[in-house]
């Protein structure tokens, strides 16, 4: 008997089942198909403006920084200003996300924008989030050429753009949208739920930002 | 591999109580976590309802574990992950070693994994010529000290900054001797730089999983540092090692559990990184592992499904029961002698290594009930510890004097009139002797108690006598 069959057999032995019982199989198939929602916190169930405000408040509560821009044409200036304010070199890496590709980066001629995954030598990166959950200020980022996962973790400074309209009340709403739009078969390799910059409290429970991932997280909400 | 010393709990505890550095370190746990958890729970009105939901999801999954495991296998395989099943810890170790060899691994990075600790994965790989580098800061610290974790989410919580500084100076010998490591941030910066080089060089990354989602075939890891993600993203091969009870049915179920996990564990509303990893890198992906393996480990869990310890399989390893336990506060994690300390360890360790080796752990409890009060999946930890005590008694594993004492007490307790006849005068006598200070610093036959603390003097009348009097009023 293979190890797989041994494990399944001992589970079934312990549960006193054979695995062929129709009611059990139906219950599991139904739950996987219907994926019922459980308890959804009220806190994020707000009109658009308040929900976005809650999301930003939650991001700031976990040491992220935020700003709002009215149009993507403002993005190059916002990025350049952020880098300047942090005394960083005016360089940022991005993926091939069409929205980021369409931005007129040349409006900030001194800002060097490179494209691709990170090899660990980038100080700052910019990603376009799939969405966010306002209840805890959690960003949802998808892997792939558009927004490579390494950009989320290797650079010291991570700038994330999110559409105001993609800020949902709760995790379930973002995950359901993902299932709807991509299908289970089309899920990306990695879905990163990111809540603030990297941190540790492993030394005497002193909270320090920038453990292995980014030291700073800056979220830019695109309004409208 | 570390051999469990759980059988020596009493001696371990005594040593821990006398360890001044440890006592200072433990003070943080006691003063820090309970209040912070209370605050973060109070901020979410639905928290108690979410605990019920979390318990129900886990119960439902465990009752259908065979079917969810099959669903997970189908979906993970369809997404391109390669699944391996391990009946025992040794099997899992061999599978991981074979994979490392198959890919010619030279540098292996590792995210913190409790099941990895349980099966002694690092020691096994090291014995076979592969040196995995732990990347969680706390886990890295205990790895360079050759210690077991003393807490399931804060492995180095028993250490103070000066001890960690000494370890870094001992191990990071290529760095300037006169560097300043006074601040925790300086220690972190040194670990970050040291480990960043390992991350980038690694051929194989090994992580655990907080959840396995049956619906999608995803392995989910939750970290604050980002080390788990770098371990899973940068090497060519990512190996996930996860035990069977990590399964949840759907993304919605995972979301419910996420809401109670971080709040219970670190009193955060959400951990910084929760990552769903589904299969290897896709065509066109510029990063991520080309090979994705998932090792599913049983190692004694399926047997627990059969009896009263099934409840324990709901555990999501948050550590809240440790953080709220007066015994853990007093002696720390190492006294428990193995990798699972505190109330959850007192229940789980006997299941995994045998009650003959760990029978003392369920006795390391005042039954104050705080663990059950805070458990996010409502595991009745005191009741399960009592089951173990009963089993220990039945199997004659406890000392003869203790057994004789319990038998004598049981004889009395079953004879209420005799019990009253004996206790009423005893209470009066004790009350008379203790009337001045209200306590006893020493008492014949009770030295086991009075050696380390005073025994409060009774007030004179037994509880039953007072109860009767009140009934008459």
pLDDT tens digits, one per residue of A169-197: 999 999 999 999 999 999 999 999 999 99
- Tell me whether A33 touches chain B (CB under 8 Å): no
Q: To 10 degrees, what angle do helices B65-78 and A3-15 make?
A: 150
Q: What is the pLDDT of residue B435?
A: 85
Q: Examine residue B318 and state whether it is found in any structural domain, yes or no.
A: no
- pLDDT of amino acid A205: 86
B132 Cβ partners below 8 Å, 6+ apart?
A: B108, B109, B110, B121, B122, B125, B126, B206
Banded pLDDT at B179 (limits 50, 70, 90): very high
Q: Is B256 on the interface with A (CB under 8 A)?
A: yes
Instruction: For residue B248, give the chain A residue with the closest CA.
Output: A32
Do the interacting molecules here have an ipTM over 0.90?
Answer: yes
CB–CB of A189 and B215 under 8 A? no
- Boundary residue ending a domain (B302, B336, B358): B302
Q: Over 90: is that where the pLDDT of A19 sits?
A: yes
CA–CA distances in Å: residue A160 to residues A39, A52, A116, A171, B86:
29, 15, 16, 18, 40
CB B276 within 8 A of CB B218: yes
Two structure tokens written together for A109: 């001629």
Strand order across the B204-207 sheet: B82-86, B291-297, B237-243, B204-207, B108-110, B132-134
- Overall average pLDDT of the B406-416 stretch: 90
**pLDDT (tens digit, 9 = 90+) per residue, B46-102?**
999 999 999 999 999 999 999 999 999 999 999 999 999 999 999 999 999 999 999
Domain boundary among B268, B302, B336: B302
pLDDT for B447 equals 81
pLDDT higher than 90, residue A61? yes
The H-assigned helical ranges of B315-444 are 320-323, 326-331, 342-353, 355-358, 370-374, 381-394, 400-413, 416-433
Residue A177 CA to residue A97 CA, distance in Å, equals 19
Count residue pairs from A and B with Cβ separation < 8 A: 274
- Name residue, tokens 């994330």: A160
B288 plus B436 within the same structural domain: no
Q: What percent of chain B has pLDDT over 90?
A: 80
> Is the pLDDT assigned to residue B242 strictly greater than 90?
yes
In angstroms, what separates the C-alpha of B361 from chain A's closest C-alpha? 25
Share of chain B above pLDDT 70, in %: 100
Q: What is the model's pLDDT at position B423? A: 85
The answer to whether residue B27 neighbours chain A at the CB level (below 8 Å) is: no
Compute the 3-state secondary structure of chain A and give helix, strand, coil in percent, each to the nearest 5.
40, 25, 40
In a domain, B401, yes or no: no
b/e for B15-36, b at 16 or more Cβ within 10 A? ebeebeebbebbebbbeebbeb
* Range B408-413 average pLDDT: 90
State the residue range of the domain holding A29: 1-36
Calpha distance A136→A43 (Å, rounded): 10
* CB burial string B115-133: b at 16+ within 10 A, e below: bbbbbbbbebbeeeebebb
A114 and A32, same structural domain? Answer: no
In this structure, what token pair is assigned to residue B166? Answer: 């000494």
Question: For residue B1, what pLDDT is reported?
Answer: 60
- Nearest-angstrom CA–CA distance, B76 and B81: 5
Q: Is B402 a residue whose pLDDT tops 90?
A: no
Sequence-separated (6 or more) residues with CB below 8 Å from residue A146: A95, A96, A97, A98, A128
State whether A187 and B218 contact (CB < 8 Å).
Answer: yes
Region class of B369: left (phi > 0), else alpha (psi between -120 and 50), else beta: left
What number is the average pLDDT over the span A11-24? Answer: 98
Is the same domain home to A23 and A58? no
A24, A117, A189, A198: best to mutate for the B interface, most B CBs within 10 A: A189
What is the domain-level CATH number for residue A135? 3.40.50.10420
- Whether residue A152 sits in one domain with residue A179: yes
Question: How far, in Å, CA of B56 to CA of B69, rounded?
Answer: 18
Residues of B in contact with A195 (CB under 8 A): 268-274
Distance CA B61, CA B156 (A): 32
Tell me whether residues B276 and A190 touch, CB distance under 8 A.
yes
In a domain? residue B67:
yes
Interchain CB contact of A177 with B (< 8 Å): no
CA dist A211 and B226 (Å) reads 7
Domain for residue B412, yes or no?
Answer: no
* Whether residues A93 and A171 fall in one domain: yes
Band (pLDDT 50/70/90 cuts) for residue B143 is: very high
Instruction: Judge: B255–A171 Cβ closer than 8 Å, yes or no.
Output: yes
CA angle, A100 as apex, A67 and A64 as ends, to 5°? 30
pLDDT, residue B218, reads 98
What is the model's pLDDT at position B7? 92
How many whole angstroms separate alpha carbon B330 and alpha carbon B301?
A: 30
Nearest to A193, CA basis, from A207, A169, A174? A174
Q: What is the pLDDT of residues B308-358, one digit of tens each?
A: 999 999 999 999 999 999 999 999 999 999 999 999 999 999 999 998 899
| Stretch A31-48: mean pLDDT | 98
pLDDT of B380 strictly over 80: yes
Average pLDDT, chain A: 97
Tokens of B56: 């129900």
> CA-to-CA distance for B41 and B239, rounded, in angstroms?
34
Closest residue to B273, CB basis, from A7, A145, A194? A194
* Lookup result for tokens 């002694």: B120
Query: Quick one: average pLDDT of A111-121?
Result: 97
Separation between Cα atoms, residue B60 and residue B75, nearest integer Å:
20
pLDDT tens digits, one per residue of B429-471: 888 888 888 888 888 878 888 887 888 888 888 888 888 889 8
Amino acid B449: pLDDT: 81
Tell me the H-state helices in B129-281: 137-144, 161-171, 184-201, 227-233, 251-265
Q: Which of A31, A141, A176, A185 to mutate to test the interface with B (most CBs of B within 10 A)?
A: A31
Domain hosting residue B157, numbered range: 44-302
Whole-number pLDDT of residue B30:
87
Which structure tokens are listed for A203? 């030394």
H helix intervals, B79-160: 89-102, 114-119, 121-127, 137-144
Residues A6 and A68 in one domain: no
Chain A nearest-CA distance from B244, in A, is: 9
Is B325 a member of any domain? no
Task: Please state, in angstroms and as integers, the Cα–Cα distance from residue A193 to each residue in A60, A141, B218, B227, B312, following that order.
Answer: 16, 6, 14, 14, 28
- Please tell me the predicted confidence (pLDDT) of residue B46: 98
Domain count, chain B: 2
Q: Taking the model in full, what pTM does it have?
A: 0.94
Quote the pLDDT of residue B393: 85
- Is the Cβ of A58 closer than 8 Å to some Cβ of chain B? yes
Query: What is the band of B35 on the pLDDT scale with cuts at 50, 70, 90?
Result: very high
State the average pLDDT for chain B. 94
Among A33, A37, A173, A190, most B C-beta atoms within 10 A, so best to mutate, is A190
* Residue A88: pLDDT over 90: yes
Q: Which residue has the tokens 């001044």?
A: B20
Among A114-128, B149-163, B246-260, B383-397, name the one with the lowest average pLDDT. B383-397
Cα(B330)–Cα(B26) distance, rounded to whole angstroms?
A: 7
Let me know if residue B387 belongs to a domain.
Answer: no
pLDDT at B174: 95
Tell me the chain B residues in contact with residue A38 when contact means C-beta distances shorter than 8 Å. Answer: 50, 53, 57, 252-253, 255-256
The pLDDT of residue A117: 98
Q: How far apart are CA B257 and CA A197, in angstroms?
A: 22
User: For residue range A117-149, what is the model confidence (pLDDT) as tens digits?
Assistant: 999 999 999 999 999 999 999 999 999 999 999
User: Which residue has tokens 């720390």?
Assistant: B332
Residue B281 lies in a domain: yes
What's the confidence (pLDDT) of residue B427?
86
- pLDDT-based confidence at residue B294 (cuts at 50, 70, 90): very high
**Same domain flag for A169 and A61:** yes
Q: Which residues of B336-357 are buried (b: 16+ CB within 10 A; e: fewer)?
A: bbbbbbbbbbbbbbbbbbebeb
Is residue B241 classed as helix, strand or coil in its secondary structure? strand
> Are residue B110 and residue B254 in the same domain, yes or no?
yes
Contact criterion met (CB < 8 Å) for B229 and A152: yes
Q: Could you tell me if A192 and A40 are in contact, meaning their C-beta atoms sit under 8 angstroms apart?
A: no
Both A88 and A162 in a single domain? yes
B238, B273, B302 - which closes a domain: B302
| Cβ atoms < 10 Å from Cβ of B441 | 10
Across residues B264-280, what is the average pLDDT?
98
Residues A26 and A124 in one domain: no
Q: Closest to A42 (Cβ–Cβ): which among B45, B188, B280?
A: B45
Is B323 at the interface with chain A, CB within 8 A? no
**pLDDT at position A213:** 96
Whole-angstrom Cα distance, residue A111 to residue A79? 9
Cβ contact B361:B13 at 8 Å: no
Q: What are the contacts of A109-118 at 24+ separation with CB within 8 A?
A: A110/A80, A111/A76, A111/A79, A111/A80, A111/A83, A116/A148, A116/B286, A117/A148, A117/A149, A117/A150, A117/A151, A117/B286, A117/B287, A118/A93, A118/A148, A118/A150, A118/A151, A118/A154, A118/A155, A118/B287
End-to-end CA distance of chain B: 65
* Domain annotation covers residue B20: no
Lowest-pLDDT range of A48-62, B102-116, B383-397, B454-468 = B454-468
Chain A interface disruption, residue of B200, B247, B286, most A CBs within 10 A: B286
Give mean pLDDT, residues B395-405. Answer: 84
CB contact under 8 A, A196 and B258: no
Q: Is the pLDDT of residue B2 over 80?
A: no
Residues of B in contact with A176 (CB under 8 A): 251-252
Contact B302 A10 (CB under 8 A): yes
Question: What is the total count of domains within chain A?
Answer: 2
């Amino acid at each position: 008997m293979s190890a797989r069959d041994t494990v399944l057999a001992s589970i079934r032995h312990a549960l006193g089942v054979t695995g062929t019982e129709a009611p059990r199989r139906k219950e599991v198939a139904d739950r996987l198909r219907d994926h019922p929602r459980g308890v959804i916190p009220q806190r994020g169930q707000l009109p658009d403006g308040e929900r976005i405000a809650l999301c930003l408040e939650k991001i700031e509560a976990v040491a992220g920084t935020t700003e709002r821009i009215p149009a993507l044409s403002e993005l190059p200036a916002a990025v350049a200003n952020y880098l300047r304010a942090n005394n960083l070199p005016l360089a940022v890496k991005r993926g091939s996300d069409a929205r980021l590709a369409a931005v007129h980066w040349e409006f900030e001629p001194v800002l060097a924008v490179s494209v691709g995954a990170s090899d660990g030598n980038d100080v700052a990166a910019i990603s376009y989030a799939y969405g966010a959950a306002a209840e805890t200020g959690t960003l949802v980022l998808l892997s792939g050429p558009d927004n490579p996962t390494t950009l989320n973790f290797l650079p010291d400074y991570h700038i994330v753009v999110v559409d105001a309209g993609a800020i949902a009340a709760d995790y379930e709403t973002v995950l359901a949208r993902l299932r709807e739009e991509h299908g289970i078969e089309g899920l990306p390799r990695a879905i990163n739920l990111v809540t603030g910059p990297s941190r540790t409290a492993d030394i005497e429970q002193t909270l320090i930002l920038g453990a292995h991932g980014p030291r700073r997280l800056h979220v830019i909400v695109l309004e409208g | 591999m570390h051999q469990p010393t759980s059988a020596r709990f009493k001696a371990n505890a005594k040593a821990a109580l006398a360890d001044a550095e440890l006592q200072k370190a433990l003070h943080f746990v006691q003063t820090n976590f309970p209040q912070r958890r209370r605050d973060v729970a109070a901020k979410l009105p639905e928290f108690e309802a979410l605990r019920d939901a979390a318990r129900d999801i886990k119960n439902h999954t465990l009752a259908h574990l065979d079917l969810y495991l099959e669903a997970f296998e189908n979906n993970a395989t369809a997404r391109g992950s390669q699944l391996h099943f391990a009946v025992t810890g040794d099997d899992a170790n061999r599978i991981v070693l074979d994979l490392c060899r198959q890919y010619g691994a030279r540098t292996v990075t590792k995210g913190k994994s409790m099941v990895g600790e349980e099966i002694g994965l690092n020691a096994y790989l090291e014995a076979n010529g592969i040196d995995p580098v732990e990347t969680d800061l706390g886990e890295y610290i205990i790895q360079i000290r050759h210690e077991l974790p003393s807490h399931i989410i804060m492995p180095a919580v028993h250490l103070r900054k000066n001890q960690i500084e000494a370890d870094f100076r001992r191990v990071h010998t290529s760095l300037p001797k006169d560097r300043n490591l006074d601040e925790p941030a300086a220690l972190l910066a040194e670990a970050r730089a040291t480990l960043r080089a390992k991350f980038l060089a690694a051929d194989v990354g090994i992580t655990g999983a907080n959840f396995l989602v049956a619906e999608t075939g995803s392995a989910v890891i939750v970290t604050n540092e980002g080390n788990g993600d770098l371990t899973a993203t940068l090497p060519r091969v990512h190996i996930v090692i996860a035990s069977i009870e990590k399964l949840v049915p759907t993304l919605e179920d995972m979301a419910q559990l996420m809401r109670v996990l971080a709040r219970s564990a670190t009193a955060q509303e959400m951990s910084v990184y929760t990552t769903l990893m589904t299969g290897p890198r896709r065509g066109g992906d510029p990063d991520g592992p080309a090979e994705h393996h998932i090792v599913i480990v049983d190692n004694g869990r399926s047997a627990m499904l059969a009896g009263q310890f099934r409840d324990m399989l709901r555990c999501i390893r948050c550590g809240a029961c440790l953080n709220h336990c007066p015994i853990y506060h007093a002696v720390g994690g190492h006294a428990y002698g193995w990798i699972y300390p505190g109330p959850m360890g007192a229940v789980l360790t006997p299941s995994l290594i045998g009650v003959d080796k760990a029978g003392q752990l369920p006795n390391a409890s005042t039954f104050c009930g705080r663990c059950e009060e805070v458990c996010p999946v409502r595991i009745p930890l005191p009741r399960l510890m009592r089951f173990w005590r009963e089993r220990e008694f039945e199997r004659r594993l406890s000392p003869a004097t203790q057994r004789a004492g319990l038998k004598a007490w049981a004889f009395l307790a079953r004879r209420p009139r005799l019990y009253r006849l004996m206790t009423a005068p005893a209470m009066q006598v004790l009350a008379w002797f203790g009337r001045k200070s209200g306590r006893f610093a020493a008492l014949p036959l009770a030295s086991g108690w009075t050696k380390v603390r005073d025994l409060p003097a009774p007030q004179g009348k037994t509880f039953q006598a007072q109860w009767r009097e009140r009934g008459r009023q």
